[in-house]
Amino acid sequence: MADNPNGHASSHQPASDPLPPAATHHTGTEHKAVHPIGGYLLAPSPIKLNAGRPRLKLKVRNTGDRPIQVGSHFHFFETNRYLEFDRPKAFGMRLDIPANSALRFEPGDEKEVTLVPYGGKRFVFGFNNLVDGWTGDGPKPDYRPNASAAERRAAERGFKTSQ
């Protein structure tokens, strides 16, 4: 057994260098990248967000005394209780803006927003816990089993609506 530098016996034999000599390492100059590394290749034409999706325009007013910011994928029906708009129409919808962006409403601001329905299975959980369930459309246009209970909870908890 050999002694290691700290004076303890060791049965470990040093292995050969696991890295090959520097001359065999890739320097990055041998290959030209066809695509930017880690980048995206985008079509030359402009990208259209939510193409072909139904849209809804609503007037929204901040009745509070503080700014309110709403993110792109927040369930708009469940936004801050001081935003006044037709909440039932916003059930199952989110802002029609790019992901990771938001709209800001200063106190007293009134803006028109565009909403689109959630995609996928349209289950919504969390936010202000007004729905915690399915927000999709059913076999009939007015089939929304969670909407009336969510509207009742919103009214009980003081969420403003212009309806």
Please state whether the predicted TM-score (pTM) of the whole model is above 0.85.
no
Which residue segments constitute the domains of the chain, with CATH numbers given?
Answer: 56-156 (2.10.150.10)
Question: CA 75 to CA 115: how far, in whole Å?
Answer: 10
What single DSSP character describes residue 75?
-
Question: CA 59 to CA 111: how far, in whole Å?
Answer: 6
Answer whether residue 129 shows pLDDT above 70.
yes
The beta-strand segments (E) located in the chain are 2-3, 9-10, 56-62, 68-71, 83-84, 93-95, 102-105, 110-117, 123-124, 133-134
Percent of all residues in the chain with a pLDDT value above 90, rounded to a whole number: 60
Classified as helix, coil or strand, 76 is helix
Q: Give the residue with greater pLDDT, 156 vs 29.
A: 156
Query: Nearest to residue 133, comparing CAs of 124, 143, 144?
Result: 124
Q: What is the pLDDT of residues 41-90, one digit of tens each?
A: 778 888 888 999 999 999 999 999 999 999 999 999 999 999 999 999 99
Q: What is the pLDDT of residues 2-28, one digit of tens each?
A: 555 566 555 555 566 666 665 565 565
Q: pLDDT band at residue 160, thresholds of 50, 70 and 90?
A: very high
* pLDDT of amino acid 38: 77
* pLDDT of amino acid 5: 58
Percent of all residues in the chain with a pLDDT value above 70, rounded to a whole number: 77
In sequence order, the β-bridge partners of residue 83 are 62
